[in-house]
Structure 1
Amino acid sequence: MMEKELELYLHIPFCVQKCAYCDFLSAPSDEVQRIRYMDALVKEIGGYRKKYHDDYRVTTIFIGGGTPSLLEENQIADLFHALQQTFQIEQDAEITIEANPGTVTEEKLAAWKSLGINRLSIGLQSVNDAELKLLGRIHTYEEFLETYRTARAQGFENINIDLISAVPGQTVESWSHTLTSIAGLGPEHISAYSLIIEEGTPFYDYYGECRKDGSGTARDCASADMPGLPDEDTERKIYEMTADLLAGYGYKRYEISNYAKEGFACRHNLGYWERKQYLGIGLGASSLIGHQRYHNTADLETYIYKVQKKEEIREDIEELSLSDEIEEHMFLGLRKTEGISVQGVLETFGKSIFDIYGKELEKLKSEGLLEVTADAVRLTERGIDVSNTVFVEFLDPVTD
């Protein structure tokens, strides 16, 4: 029997301090908490051997958080020992670890390299120290540069840098300076996300109410301590300049928020957008296995207790219908600039995309939001700008 592809995501829910915009499942921790959690994580991994070792081959591994680079070298080594004992990992697997400046040392980088980690994702967000401070980041731009240079010296040849646009007080000029500074360093990959004010974050407490007056801007919230968010015109200019500026440095936009040099698109994230099977390991981690989607418990003490007692940690197990899977295929696949393969839909679902979504495709094409050919369906530049509006059109597919 042919082995099936599998991606692994491992969640490390610890950070030095919570950023002002962050709604991820993460929090500050002490050494004892981290030791207890890592013991449970290793135990969870070991429990998957019987189900996954023989029938699956792991093509990508992503260690995210939180701040995985907080962990000691021996903790990451224990993690990899468990992974190697449990799964068949391909020799050329893409293996990523997220790292934040201020938590990375030369010793850690050398240890990660020796374990087979071959891709770093560094959370910078801005080259402007005032913006970093406002965002709640623990590092300066100079500390990032030190981390980046050390990673290169240790032989890392596949580095992503995360950036955030439309942050409070940002101007077109300051964003341009961030982009040109980072592109000039030559990382293989750049993720450029636009700030979203999420409920439950300090930024929402301060800026969220201002967006409820219908004005679409939170500039009225500006104070001596907290600058306002960029207005719509500034946001638009920031958004439009990103792809053009990065293209000039040799970066191709291959997904709505992601840019890579030739051959360096993130294989792990492409797997998500192409709905490959993935197993989420650790606190709150989500999985897509077969026709099931679920996530692990998000309560730390419950997670540790249940793993140690070999009790069920999965929650909200959902059996996906054909309609669910087609919808997801469209939402996720259209995020890629190459779009969705017409032949791929036929092979995956046994139905033509034109039979499933004929009216919707014609409508969106006539509005200039989709490019539709005999081979592929993809968002136009205008469609990318209003992608969420486009995605709504693909609810409730015709599957009869």
Structure 2
Amino acid sequence: MQQFASLPPLSLYVHIPWCVRKCPYCDFNSHEARGGVPEQEYVEALLRDLEQDLPRVWGRIVHTIFIGGGTPSLFSPEAIDRLLSGIRARLLLDQNIEITLEANPGTVDTERFKGFRAAGINRLSIGVQSFEPEKLKALGRIHGREEALRAAESARAAGFDNFNLDLMFGLPGQTVEQALADIRTAIQLYPTHLSAYQLTIEPNTLFHSRPPTLPDDDSTWDMQSRLQTELAAAGYQQYEVSAYAKPGHECRHNLNYWQFGDYLGIGAGAHAKITDARGITRLWKLKQPNEYLRTAGTPQNIGGEQKLSREHTVTEFMMNALRITRGVPSRLFAERTGMPISVAAKPLEEAERKGLIAWDIETLRPTDIGLRFLNNLVAMF
């Protein structure tokens, strides 16, 4: 029996599934927008979807909202304003709520950013990936170097003092110096947050069926080590495997995921995790946009629902919490799983013996070796 002294913080994820062109590495639920996107219809569907989920979270305060995709910046500021107004009318929002919008450099300018800010967006996540034209072409991106530079400058000009730049390394044919050049260019744009992900080949992507030639493991490890040094020297603290932030600018929405908080998910293919007296439930919505539009707000819109077993709860907590470089308070395990940490004592002791974690009554955290071999560490639970 899982027993919760209190419920975890609650976030809201909103998925907008359309993009201009599907990137060959992307395994997200995204679909090319041929002939435009049904803004008004989709916003109405999102709000019906949210209304159906409201009984799951009555009275709870939402601390963060993240609008992801796809390419949410394809939607007009007016559509985002209608969406956020509808959310405010239906949910209790934290006074200091963080509201993030993902944006593609090829779909924005200063005026559009100003419109998003007026609608209530207070944080941007801009998908740059690289500043080198050859690498952007290999990744199938619709923007070039100059558009990437302008996007960051436009965000600041529009009044955003909190924005993230997404970068990737280990790209086809990339050298260590090219990866460092991308990081140095990003730092010069003064974002408050940087995400740096190693490119991985995922199933059901074009790269999986036609694999490009990627740098070897030694080169990608060298890239990661040296970009970490560059970012630390520029004042960015690594607080998660792939996330770096100026002090006080960590992404609160993602931290809630990693600390095993709760979240509603609305939109095509969106996932949710909800805790109540009966335990922890995961559910997800239909993935195909047309099916989602047709069924939003009805029980037929639920793509699946699963109550987490005790074993899966342990695994998922560790899979998330061990991504955080500084770790989490040991007490958080009981608070978020409803079980004493002793249920995971055996793998914890084995991981500690192998030097992969540091664990005591105060803190549970991965060591440097544990972070390097995170997949092996998580597989122990």
- TM normalised by structure 2 equals 0.92
Runs of 4+ in 1 over 6 A off after TM superposition: none
Q: Is residue 45 of structure 1 aligned with residue 50 of structure 2?
A: yes
Matched AA of 1:68: P
- The 1:320–1:107 alpha-carbon spacing in structure 2 relative to 1, beyond 3 Å, is same
Gaps of 5+ in 2: 1-5
SS in 1 for 2:106: coil
Are 2:111 and 2:158, in contact at CA under 8 Å, matched by a contact in 1?
Answer: no
Are 1:4 and 1:56, in contact at CA under 8 Å, matched by a contact in 2?
Answer: no
Matched AA of 2:253: H
Match for residue 187 of structure 1 among 170, 187, 191: 191
- The 1:66–1:380 alpha-carbon spacing in structure 2 relative to 1, beyond 3 Å, is same
Match for residue 264 of structure 1 among 249, 272, 281: 249
RMSD: 1.9
Match for residue 90 of structure 2 among 86, 90, 114: 86
Structure whose CA Rg is larger? 1
Residue 391 of structure 1 is matched in structure 2 by 378
Indicate the larger mover: 369-378 or 382-391: 369-378
Match for residue 283 of structure 2 among 265, 279, 294: 294
Residue 177 of structure 1 is matched in structure 2 by 181
SS in 1 for 2:248: coil
In 2, distance between residues paired with 1:326 and 1:172? 37
Matched AA of 2:218: D
Residue 26 of structure 1 is matched in structure 2 by 30
Are 1:287 and 1:295, in contact at CA under 8 Å, matched by a contact in 2?
Answer: yes
Gaps of 5+ in 1: 208-225, 395-400
Match for residue 382 of structure 1 among 369, 376, 379: 369
Are 1:280 and 1:286, in contact at CA under 8 Å, matched by a contact in 2?
Answer: yes
Residue 308 of structure 2 is matched in structure 1 by 320
- The 1:351–1:67 alpha-carbon spacing in structure 2 relative to 1, beyond 3 Å, is closer
- The 1:56–1:347 alpha-carbon spacing in structure 2 relative to 1, beyond 3 Å, is closer
Match for residue 345 of structure 2 among 358, 366, 371: 358
In 1, distance between residues paired with 2:25 and 2:334? 41
Residue 296 of structure 2 is matched in structure 1 by 307
Residue 160 of structure 1 is matched in structure 2 by 164
Percent of aligned positions that are identical = 39
In 1, distance between residues paired with 2:53 and 2:361? 42
Tell me by how many angstroms 1:311 deviates.
3.9
Are 1:10 and 1:64, in contact at CA under 8 Å, matched by a contact in 2?
Answer: yes
SS in 2 for 1:287: strand
Are 1:57 and 1:90, in contact at CA under 8 Å, matched by a contact in 2?
Answer: yes
In 2, distance between residues paired with 1:265 and 1:318? 30
Residues 113-143 of structure 1 deviation map (CA, whole Å, 9 limit, x = unaligned)? 1122110000000111110011000111211
Residue 3 of structure 2 is matched in structure 1 by none
Match for residue 16 of structure 1 among 17, 20, 39: 20
Match for residue 255 of structure 1 among 240, 253, 259: 240
Residue 231 of structure 1 is matched in structure 2 by 216
In 1, distance between residues paired with 2:313 and 2:61? 23
Residue 102 of structure 1 is matched in structure 2 by 106
In 2, distance between residues paired with 1:92 and 1:80? 15
Aligned residue pair count? 371
In 1, distance between residues paired with 2:250 and 2:102? 16
Are 1:3 and 1:55, in contact at CA under 8 Å, matched by a contact in 2?
Answer: no
Are 1:343 and 1:375, in contact at CA under 8 Å, matched by a contact in 2?
Answer: yes
In 2, distance between residues paired with 1:281 and 1:90? 19
Tell me by how many angstroms 1:201 deviates.
1.5
In 2, distance between residues paired with 1:347 and 1:33? 41
